[in-house]
Structure 1
Amino acid sequence: MFTYPIDRDTSLELLQYKHAEALFYLTDTGRSYLGKWLPWVEYTKTIADTRAFIQSTLQDFAGQFGMTVVVLYRGAVAGVVAFHAFDWINMKTSIGYWLGEQYQGKGLITKAVKVLIDYAFGELRLNRIVIQAAEDNVKSWAIPERLGFTYEGTQRQNERIGNRWVDHRTYALLKEDWQPLTST
């Protein structure tokens, strides 16, 4: 299983059933905040929904289709970071993330995404990573900008959240442009 300590307070761990209650609680208590940016929030109504999500991510991991990890901060589930899907033929993937509102401003997602980038380019030998973020979600698209991704444009009406369409800023990073954590 994937486990990665980042610093004294923060680590990443493969999303597992043992995280279901804490993950559902984080989703449920952050529903109004998270629901502005994430379409799945309105469909996550019970802990059974969270368990079904975990089951699908474990199946993706077993089949090498994707990987979802929880961000643990001082032992608590703070959020999720994921490789949405691996495209092995074209050696690329995309990364998505979300964090409970109370955990923001600590650099947790930036640290977690750095680890996944190193993993993707080093261990998985991928060549390209994409991150998309809602045009209005400045905190979210600040992450790829902070990490040296290149802005490639905006996809109009790329996602439907509730009754509204959301434009997404698209960023990409190539392996040749990344400075691994071990070199800093």
Structure 2
Amino acid sequence: MFLYKIDEQLSLKLTEVTDADRLFELTEKAREYLKEWLPWLDFTTDVEDTREFLKGTMKGYAESKSMTTVILYEGEIVGTAGFNSINWSNKTAYIGYWLGHEYQGKGIMTKVAKALTDYAFNHLKLNKVEIRAAEENKKSRGIPERLGFVKEGKIRQAEWLYDHYVDHVVYGILAEEWDKNKNLQK
């Protein structure tokens, strides 16, 4: 089992089907909050939907196409994060994440994104990591900005969120930039 310890309170664990109940519980608690920025809430209406999602993430990992983890904070699952996709030809990983509402504001996701970026460069030997966030999602955009990612541009109407499109801001960092900026990262 993949377990990546970030610090005394925080770890990343590869998803398992047995995580479904807790993830669905988190989804239910934060459904309206998460719906502002995530497009999949209407397709996750019961725990079986979460189980199917987890099966898909495990298949993606087995095929080396993605890597989804649950975030463990003080031993409890509080969200998910990982590489939504890995492009081995271009040596690029695309980070995605979400966190239960009550766990926000503790610096958890910044530490998680930093750990995933380190993992991409130091273990997977990739060249670039990207994070995309809705233009108006200031909290999510703050994560790559705090970590020294470069704002590379905007994709207009990149995502359909229930009844409207949102633009995405694309952030990226190269392995050589990450190594140079390590002392600046929080």
Question: Aligning the two structures, in what range does the TM-score lie when normalised by the shorter sequence?
Answer: over 0.9
- Asked if residue 63 in structure 1 is aligned to residue 80 in structure 2, the reply is no
**Matching residue's letter, 2:174:** L
**1:79 partner amino acid:** G
1:106 matches 2:106: yes
Mapped contact 1:82–1:96 kept (Cα < 8 A): yes
Q: Per the alignment, in what secondary structure is the counterpart of residue 40 of structure 2?
A: helix
**Percent identity of equivalent pairs:** 46
For 1:83, the aligned partner's letter is F
User: How many angstroms apart in 2 are the aligned matches of 1:57 and 1:181?
Assistant: 31
Structure 1 residue identity aligned to 2:135: E
Q: Give the Cα–Cα distance (whole angstroms) in 2 for the partners of residues 106 and 18 of structure 1.
A: 26
2:99 is aligned with 1:96: no
* Deviation at residue 181 of structure 1 after TM alignment: 10
Partner of 2:168: 168
Match of 1:9 in 2: 9
Counterpart residue identity of residue 122, structure 1 = N
2:18 corresponds to 1:18: yes
Task: Normalising by structure 2, report the TM-score.
Answer: 0.95
The whole-number CA distance in structure 1 between the counterparts of 2:95 and 2:119 is 12
> Would the aligned equivalents of 2:148 and 2:181 in 1 still touch at CA under 8 Å?
no
Residues 14-93 of structure 1: matches in 2 within 5 Å?
14-93=14-93
Distance 1:182 1:139 in 2: 22
Offset from partner CA, 1:121-149 (integer Å, 9 cap, x none): 01111001110001111000000000010
Match of 2:136 in 1: 136
Q: Which stretch of the first structure deviates more once superposed, 6-15 or 156-165?
A: 6-15
- CA distance in 2: counterparts of 1:180 and 1:52, whole angstroms: 40
With over 3 angstroms needed to count, the CA separation of the structure-2 counterparts of 1:150 and 1:9, relative to structure 1, is same
Question: Which residue pairs with 1:150 in the alignment?
Answer: 150
Shift of 1:179: 3.0
Task: Provide TM-score, normalisation by structure 1.
Answer: 0.96
**CA-to-aligned-CA distance 1:48-105 (integer Å, 9 cap, x gap):** 0000000000000011000000111112111110201111111111001111110001
Unmatched tracts of structure 2, length 5 or more:
none
> Retained in 2: the 8 A contact 1:70–1:81?
yes
Question: Quick check: 1:11–1:73 contact (8 Å CA) kept in 2?
Answer: yes
Distance 1:78 1:180, change over 3 A: farther
Aligned-partner SS, 1:8: coil
Distance in 1 between the 2:111 and 2:157 partners?
A: 29
What is the count of residue pairs matched by the alignment?
184
- Taking only aligned residues, the RMSD between alpha carbons, in angstroms, comes to 1.6
Task: Tell me if structure 2 keeps the 8 A contact 1:83–1:94.
Answer: yes
Q: Please report how far the alpha carbon of residue 12 of structure 1 lies from its aligned counterpart in structure 2 after TM superposition.
A: 0.9
Give the deviation of 1:41 after TM superposition: 1.1
The amino acid of 2:48's aligned partner reads A
User: Which residue of 2 is the match for residue 127 of structure 1?
Assistant: 127
Q: Which amino acid aligns with 1:90?
A: N
